[in-house]
Amino acid sequence: MCPTPFRSPIRVSEFFPYRGGELHAEEIAVSRIATAVGTPFYIYSAAAFAAQYRRFAEAFARERPLICYAVKANSNLAVLRVFAGLGAGADVVSEGELRRALAAGMPPQRILFSGVGKTPAELEAAIDAEIHQINIESVPELCRLSEIARVRGRVAPVAIRVNPDVDARTHAKISTGMKENKFGIDLGEVIAAYSLATELPGIEPVGLAVHIGSQLVDLEPYRRAFVRVAGLVRELRANGLAVTRIDLGGGLGIRYRAEDAPEPTSYARLVREIFGSAGLAMTFEPGRVLAGPAGLLVARVIYVKQGAAKRIVIVDAAMNDLIRPALYEAWHDIVPVRLPAADAFFAPADVVGPVCETTDTFAVDRDLPPVAEGDLVAFTAAGAYGAVMSSTYNSRPLVPEVLVAGTRFDVIRARPSYDDMLSLDTVPTWLSEVSPAPARKRGAA
**Alpha-carbon separation of residue 153 from 105, 181, 219, 326, 425 (angstroms):** 26, 34, 43, 47, 41
The tens digit of pLDDT for each residue in 388-407 reads 999 999 999 999 999 999 99
User: CA triplet 43, 404, 33: central angle to 5 degrees?
Assistant: 60
In the chain, domain spans: 4-44+293-422, 47-290
Contacts 24+ apart (CB under 8 A), 366-371: 366/334, 367/4, 368/313, 368/334, 368/336, 369/6, 369/336, 369/340, 369/344, 369/345, 370/340, 370/344, 370/345, 371/301, 371/304, 371/313, 371/336
The C-alpha torsion from 141 through 145 and 146 to 147, rounded to 10°, is 100
Contact 239, 274 (CB under 8 A): no
Distance CA(433)–CA(2), nearest Å, equals 63
**Cα atoms in the 13 Å half-sphere on the side-chain side of 236:** 32
Contact 164, 175 (CB under 8 A): no
Distance CA(171)–CA(176), nearest Å, equals 10
Confidence at 6, pLDDT banded by 50, 70, 90: very low
Q: Which amino acid, residue 351?
A: V
- % of the chain surpassing 70 pLDDT: 91
The tens digit of pLDDT for each residue in 197-231 reads 999 999 999 999 999 888 999 999 999 999 999 99
Confidence at 184, pLDDT banded by 50, 70, 90: confident
What is the helix (H) or strand (E) element at residue 412, kind and residue range? strand 408-413
pLDDT of residue 169: 55
Contact 270, 343 (CB under 8 A): no
- Which candidate in 2, 68, 143, 356 is catalytic? 356
pLDDT of residue 13: 84
Indicate whether 37 pLDDT > 80. Answer: yes
Confidence at 9, pLDDT banded by 50, 70, 90: very low
Q: What is the mean pLDDT of residues 112-122?
A: 96
Contact 269, 358 (CB under 8 A): no
Fold for the domain defined by 4-44+293-422: Lyase, Ornithine Decarboxylase; Chain A, domain 1 (2.40.37)
Q: What is the mean pLDDT of residues 285-313?
A: 95
6 versus 105: the higher-pLDDT residue is 105
- Is the peptide bond prior to 293 cis by the omega test (within 30 degrees of 0)? no
Q: What φ, ψ does residue 338 adopt, rounded to 5°? A: -115, 125
Q: What is the pTM of this model?
A: 0.92
**Cα atoms in the 13 Å half-sphere on the side-chain side of 58:** 7
Confidence at 308, pLDDT banded by 50, 70, 90: confident
Given 3-state DSSP classes, what are the helix, strand and coil percentages for the chain, each rounded to the nearest 5? 30, 25, 40
Q: What φ, ψ does residue 427 adopt, rounded to 5°? A: -95, 120
25 three-state secondary structure = strand
Confidence at 191, pLDDT banded by 50, 70, 90: very high
Confidence at 436, pLDDT banded by 50, 70, 90: low
Distance CA(183)–CA(249), nearest Å, equals 12
- Sign (positive or negative) of CA dihedral 383, 389, 395, 401: positive
What is the helix (H) or strand (E) element at residue 208, kind and residue range? strand 203-209
pLDDT of residue 179: 52
Indicate whether 444 pLDDT > 90. Answer: no
Distance CA(89)–CA(82), nearest Å, equals 11
Q: Calculate the average pLDDT of the chain.
A: 92
The tens digit of pLDDT for each residue in 241-291 reads 999 999 999 999 999 998 889 999 999 999 999 999 899 999 999 999 999
Distance CA(368)–CA(153), nearest Å, equals 62
pLDDT of residue 445: 52
Give Cβ neighbours of residue 265 (< 8 Å, ≥ 6 apart): 59
Indicate whether 175 pLDDT > 70. Answer: no
Q: What is the mean pLDDT of residues 125-152?
A: 97
**Alpha-carbon separation of residue 255 from 129, 297, 434, 444 (angstroms):** 36, 16, 56, 64
Confidence at 342, pLDDT banded by 50, 70, 90: confident
pLDDT of residue 375: 98
Confidence at 297, pLDDT banded by 50, 70, 90: very high
The candidate with the shortest Cα–Cα distance to 243, out of 229, 253, 260, 264, is 229
**How many other C-beta atoms can be found within 10 angstroms of the C-beta atom of residue 261?**
18
Q: Which amino acid, residue 265?
A: T
Active site residue 356: yes
Domain spanning 47-290, CATH architecture: Alpha-Beta Barrel (3.20)
The candidate with the shortest Cα–Cα distance to 255, out of 11, 78, 8, 424, is 11
Q: Which amino acid, residue 279?
A: G
Q: What is the mean pLDDT of residues 121-147?
A: 97
Identify the weakest region by mean pLDDT among 82-91, 125-134, 177-186. 177-186
